Structure 1
């Protein structure tokens, strides 16, 4: 990327612990005096947060995969314009809980085999990838159990069940091979502190 900052994304199936690890990394960098923006997708800007409520709540069949793709891309564009790009241009470290790889999986692979459309729309409207993507790998049954125990209203994708989560895990691992230059796969089935140390080992070489 041409920006002066560092862009790190976290990916993984629901319940993998990626949100926890994103926060722990942000806390560690902040404690070291680094200027950090911790954000999430869908969301991360006022307009994108409104779209988040549309896509993560309600019946699993509320939207078609094609409509979801357009909604997620609209949210990502607003997030990029208002949060991510300004932070990177200011030299900050942006840590994002999910980015375009989640759309490649959830809409591009499992919900309608739309990967070519996902990539084309991403190139047209977003145009950037993270400098580093941390994939927190997790057994689908364990991840889904964790996710369902959170008891939040944002359960639409979790309600698709174990089959979707298993497909997503396989898909994320395949993405890690496809984009091996920016992906680092970390075993999430351990204590958060141990996972965090592996995350730090992956991120620290990118710091200047």
Structure 2
């Protein structure tokens, strides 16, 4: 339960989609309206969550089963919600999170081919009725995103997956935007930075302009 005025915003996208830039744009938009949000990430955001993140991204665990991967993500999410997200919302603070459960549907449900039916019960158990107020999904062609990511750093365990994995994940993201239009917005992130930022700001204004 969030206090009156508090909002929960999540940013989603494949590797190289530009989530860091999107997060900075959101933070600036809120700051210009006198709001200092809690900015966090998943997996991560807590001591336990960051430890789980290291395991998930480490190549030495390349043989991890999809079930184990998904359960680790939800364990980290449960801690994140208990320690960071819910306390902030209850205190009236806005929360901006780099990835959330839509990423699990895309990466594990789609990429790992587990399917939504394996994830939905975990989502309900860990989150209850809590869902983001707004999710901005940055859409970019898979190959272009992977090229951006490879130029930025050495690929981690997920970034080293085959293109087909990310095509499945992208398809889930796009489908979820179509089936959850009340909160998910698809933003074409393949264009220039100024255009992407304008689209982000336009979506923030449409969703929250009447509040701030």
Partner residue, 2:131? 129
TM-score, L = length of structure 2: 0.91
CA drift of 1:194 comes to 1.8
Structure 2 alignment gaps of length 5 or more: none
Q: Does 113-122 or 5-14 show the bigger shift?
A: 113-122
Partner residue, 2:163? 162
The alignment partner of 2:50 has SS state of helix
Partner residue, 1:97? 98
Deviations, residues 129-155 of structure 1 (Å, cap 9, x unaligned): 101110111011100101111214x61
Contact 2:39 2:95 survives alignment (8 Å): yes
Q: Distance in 1 between matches of 2:102 and 2:14?
A: 11
The alignment partner of 1:158 has SS state of coil
Contact 1:21 1:192 survives alignment (8 Å): no
The alignment partner of 2:96 has SS state of strand
Residue 143 of structure 2, aligned match among 141, 150, 155:
141
Contact 1:43 1:79 survives alignment (8 Å): yes
Give 1:44-63 correspondences, 5 Å limit.
44-59=45-60, 61-63=62-64
Q: Distance in 1 between matches of 2:14 and 2:172?
A: 10
Q: Distance in 2 between matches of 1:75 and 1:114?
A: 20
Coordinate RMSD, CA, aligned: 1.6
CA drift of 1:67 comes to 0.2
- For these two proteins, the number of residue pairs brought into alignment is 207
Tell me: CA distance 1:178–1:73, structure 2 relative to 1, closer, same or farther (3 Å).
same
Q: Distance in 2 between matches of 1:56 and 1:204?
A: 35
Give 1:10-29 correspondences, 5 Å limit.
10-29=11-30
CA drift of 1:31 comes to 3.5
Q: Distance in 2 between matches of 1:160 and 1:182?
A: 29
